[in-house]
Homo-oligomer: A and B are copies of this chain.
Amino acid sequence: METFFNPSSVAVIGASNTFLNLAATICNLLKHNNYHGRVYAVNRKGEAVHGCPGYTSVLDIPDTVDLAVILLSAQHVPQIVRDCGEKGIKNIIIESAGFSEAGGDGHRLQAEMEGYLTRYGMRLLGPNCLGTLNTHNGFCCFYGFIPEKYGEGFVAPGTISYIIQSGGIGVLVLDSFTRDVCKVNKMVSIGNKSDIDEADLIEYFDSDNTEVIGMYLENVRNGSKLMDAAMKTRKPILAFKVGRTSEGSKAAMSHTAGMANNDVIFESACRQAGIIRLKSISELHSMPKIFTTMPLLRGNRIAVVTNSGAFGGIAADLLVEAGLEMAVLSEETQAKLAKTGQLFNAKNPVDLGPAMAKQMFLDIFEILLSADEVDGLLPVPNVWQDVVLEAIIELVKMCRHYEKPAALYIPNAIEKILHIRSKYQIPVFESPEEATRALAVSHQQHNYLLKKERHAYERNNIKGNGKEAESAVGV
């Protein structure tokens, strides 16, 4: 699978100098992104494209080819796939549409192409997809993608890998990361997934430098394969699936040739296999940072820290509605808090009032993180003064030290939040709902891993009481 993301040599089949040729944008992109592999263009005239040497057939390329990227009209594809087989190419991405999702003749073309794949033992990504992106080596075969349209950081290297069944969603996710503290590792658009599917890719991302796996799915063809793959990894898997309603399911069918899936079955599969089901597309890019920047939430008792009275109540409502609890602070903790300065409220929510001293923030964070009755923090500080931001930068380090997470929200217009987040590189969420949800999702992952360890322990030691397993989890 590694070759799909890190090929030494690529043939872009269909790339020419014709006006608006989509495959040519791939050649352009590979040059632009500083990809260091060899790139060949294949077209009728055998002409070079954006500096990539051109040939009339892959069979003429005087080099081994690791990966073929095919983007030309569907009726020519089966023949090209055969050529690739003859050339000894083992990995193929078909980006063209017009196969089973289009109905009619598409089914025949799909069957013919699949015949060649079997005959030559080739692996296929697609058809009807955008292919792959690897931010670490500059490899990207997303067609129609114009890097100049996006700011720096759009494809900055990171550790979140995405499996997506829609190119549009992929671009939206990448674009949303430009102003965030975590970035994308690899992204793969699976389209009709006639061979490689989400399960194969979960297995692969379990083995590489990925920290969090995100998925956008329109259908699931092989549920038990997906569950098996998901259950083998300890990495968080975050999935958004279209088709929660029959109307949504029908709409998705026309997009990527899926079957209408029963959502109840998917939901139960997620629960069993520890897949965290996302509630909105925006959670695809907003949730990963709770995993990449913070320890898991090991209990459900949260302390809210704010200097904006209103947000104490708002946060309390949200935490309870998300299945978490407002931590009940001990007398001892309250006494320690009261000593830090003039607090409005030393109970949870802890309300600092107008106090703006950095040390006071730090003391409060430390008292709460070290309190046995607190499992995590939901700080909602106004950041009128820079000292508060400095305290937040320290808080992120403290969270790692105490192995308890904090989900931050700063009550400001969204533009200012984005500005602060990227300038100070602190994991701020965009709404109190998002911050609360991040805590819930972190706790869900912790509980899943705990259950997993317990099962493993029980299998190995029937008489064990699970206590040891419990203590082994949560890092």
Residues of chain A having any CB pair with chain B under 8 Å: 165-166, 168-169, 172, 175-176, 178-179, 216, 218, 242-245, 247-252, 254-256, 280-282, 304, 308-321, 326, 344-345, 347, 349, 351, 382, 411-416, 418, 430-433
Cross-chain contact B248 with A320 (CB below 8 angstroms): yes
Cross-chain contact B415 with A415 (CB below 8 angstroms): yes
Q: A166-B310, A280-B431 are in contact. List 8 more A-B contacts (CB 8 A).
A: A169-B310, A245-B317, A248-B317, A251-B304, A254-B309, A254-B345, A254-B347, A255-B351
| 4 residue pairs, one from A and one from B, having the closest CB atoms | A248-B317, A166-B310, A252-B313, A242-B313
Cross-chain contact B280 with A433 (CB below 8 angstroms): yes
**Given A172-B411, A310-B218, A432-B281, do A351 and B166 touch, yes or no (CB 8 Å)?**
no
Give CA–CA (A416, B416) in the complex, Å.
14
Cross-chain contact A312 with B255 (CB below 8 angstroms): yes
Cross-chain contact A254 with B411 (CB below 8 angstroms): no
**Given A243-B317, A254-B344, do A411 and B168 touch, yes or no (CB 8 Å)?**
yes
A306 vs chain B, min Cβ distance (A)? 9
Give CA–CA (A247, B315) in the complex, Å.
9
Query: A313: which of B218, B319, B416, B418 is its contact (CB, 8 Å)?
Result: B218
* A255, A304, A349 interface centre (most CB from chain B within 10 Å): A255
**How many copies of this chain are found per oligomer?**
2
Cross-chain contact B245 with A412 (CB below 8 angstroms): no
**Given A175-B412, A245-B321, A418-B415, do A313 and B349 touch, yes or no (CB 8 Å)?**
no
**Given A254-B345, A280-B431, A311-B168, do A247 and B413 touch, yes or no (CB 8 Å)?**
no
* A242, A255, A413 interface centre (most CB from chain B within 10 Å): A413
Give CA–CA (A319, B245) in the complex, Å.
10
In the assembled complex, which residues on chain B have CB atoms less than 8 Å from the CB atom of A314? 242, 248, 281
A–B complex contacts, Cβ < 8 Å, 30 sampled: A165-B310, A168-B382, A169-B310, A176-B413, A179-B413, A218-B310, A243-B317, A244-B321, A245-B317, A245-B320, A245-B321, A247-B320, A248-B313, A248-B314, A250-B316, A251-B304, A251-B313, A251-B316, A251-B349, A252-B312, A254-B309, A254-B345, A255-B309, A280-B431, A280-B432, A281-B431, A414-B414, A414-B418, A414-B430, A415-B415
Cross-chain contact A175 with B244 (CB below 8 angstroms): no
A468 vs chain B, min Cβ distance (A)? 34
In the assembled complex, which residues on chain B have CB atoms less than 8 Å from the CB atom of A248? 313-314, 316-318, 320
Give CA–CA (A256, B320) in the complex, Å.
21
**Given A176-B414, A309-B256, A414-B176, do A282 and B431 touch, yes or no (CB 8 Å)?**
yes
A286 vs chain B, min Cβ distance (A)? 10
Instruction: With CB as the reference atom, state the residue of chain B lying closest to A258.
Output: B313
**Given A242-B317, A317-B245, A432-B281, do A251 and B413 touch, yes or no (CB 8 Å)?**
no
In the assembled complex, which residues on chain B have CB atoms less than 8 Å from the CB atom of A318? 248
In the assembled complex, which residues on chain B have CB atoms less than 8 Å from the CB atom of A165? 310
In the assembled complex, which residues on chain B have CB atoms less than 8 Å from the CB atom of A175? 412-413, 416
In the assembled complex, which residues on chain B have CB atoms less than 8 Å from the CB atom of A311? 168
Give CA–CA (A258, B432) in the complex, Å.
22
Cross-chain contact B320 with A251 (CB below 8 angstroms): no
A472 vs chain B, min Cβ distance (A)? 33
In the assembled complex, which residues on chain B have CB atoms less than 8 Å from the CB atom of A166? 308-310
Instruction: With CB as the reference atom, state the residue of chain B lying closest to A345.
Output: B254
A129 vs chain B, min Cβ distance (A)? 12
Cross-chain contact B310 with A255 (CB below 8 angstroms): yes
* A178, A256, A415, A430 interface centre (most CB from chain B within 10 Å): A415
A188 vs chain B, min Cβ distance (A)? 15
Cross-chain contact A247 with B319 (CB below 8 angstroms): yes
In the assembled complex, which residues on chain B have CB atoms less than 8 Å from the CB atom of A218? 310, 313
